Amino acid sequence: MIRVENLKKNYAAFPAVKGVSFEVAPGEIVGFLGPNGAGKTTTLRILSGYMPASGGTAEISGKDVFRDSREVRRQTGYLPEDVPLYRDMTVTAYLRFLAGLKEVPKGQLGSEIDRVIGLTGLEPVAKRLVGKCSKGYRQRTGLAQALLGDPPVLLMDEPTSGLDPNQVAEVRELIRTLSGEKTVLLSSHILSEVSQICARVLIINNGELVASGSPDTLARELGTGEVLYLRVGESIQFKELEGVAGVERMEPVSANACRLNVTDPEETAPRVARWLVDRNVDLLELRPEKADLEAVFRRLTGEKNHA
């Protein structure tokens, strides 16, 4: 359904996307992860037809996004990170305007607008000016416009941005219900969100695709193995812990906490505790951690702290 091969995008002399290749199967929900500036948004803009690539190919539903951009836009619903909303229009009028641009048949306009308003929970603000809506409802309006015309492919850039916890849960459930029915590629900075709703994850860093697989598979194959989480009562030189037998690598978390990649937590934890006692350091917490998607993300992108 989505096929990308050797995709490139340069901004002047800066390469934002460097030969990225991947596929998303029909009915698959795939998460697109990466730190800020990694190339996620640029890739989604290219796939949506709003930005030309510098090289490579991209297809949606078998159509080239460059040569057949009009047909691709019919097949695709796009939720950009910053939705271009007309604040002086009501929510319903805005959706009616967008439905016209998407060539929704006139006889179906009313029912289609009612459908997406219902899906996204916009009933309370349907007649309100977009500019008078909360950020959460504006984000829902952006999601509703992406669903107009019932496109088979959805490209979503931070779909839960600006929503409160209850709204986030509702949008997650909506996306989850699309599994098997829609092909979804979504970017998010919330790793737990991606783990909950995506069957597969793509991780991009510095414009290059560095990993692809299910969250569990990535955690198992690319995770940092056995991990100990350590928190102490004062700032110390955690790097020195790499000299303790069984400690393979130290990853700082904060001034008084770190993660230790170890060969065997049960054998290494007492050695770490003894090392701290010998140096009169107050040990507040020392516990094993299971490798997860966040650990994989940190390892592949160098991000120390991530939501």
Weakest mean pLDDT among 10-19, 119-128, 217-226, 286-295: 217-226
Residues 159 and 71 in one domain: yes
Per-residue pLDDT, 306: 42
Which residue, of 220, 250, 270, is where some domain finishes? 220
Rg (C-alpha) for the chain, rounded Å, is: 23
Whether 161 is covered by a domain: the verdict is yes
Which residues make beta-bridge pairs with 283? 232
- Residue 32 tokens read as 């697109």
Whether 232 is covered by a domain: the verdict is yes
Residues 56 and 168 in one domain: yes
- Residue 230 tokens read as 């350590």
- Average pLDDT of span 134-154: 93
What CATH number did the domain enclosing 33 receive? 3.40.50.300
Contacts of 134 (CB under 8 A, 6+ apart): none
Contacts of 45 (CB under 8 A, 6+ apart): 51, 80
Whether 165 is covered by a domain: the verdict is yes
Whether 303 is covered by a domain: the verdict is no
Which residues make beta-bridge pairs with 204? 209
Residues 22 and 162 in one domain: yes
Whether 305 is covered by a domain: the verdict is no
Weakest mean pLDDT among 62-66, 75-79, 166-170, 226-230: 166-170
- Average pLDDT of span 63-71: 91
Helix or strand or coil: residue 240? helix
Whether 215 is covered by a domain: the verdict is yes
Per-residue pLDDT, 138: 92
Residue 78 has pLDDT above 90, yes or no: yes
Q: What is the extent of the structural domain holding 191?
A: 2-220
Residues 98 and 231 in one domain: no
Q: Into how many domains does the chain fold? A: 2
Residues 41 and 105 in one domain: yes
Residue 277 has pLDDT above 90, yes or no: yes
Question: Which stretches of 102-201 are DSSP H helices?
Answer: 109-120, 135-147, 165-177, 191-197
Residues 178 and 238 in one domain: no
| Torsion over CA: 258, 261, 264, 270 (sign) | negative
- Average pLDDT of span 245-266: 89
Residues 160 and 142 in one domain: yes
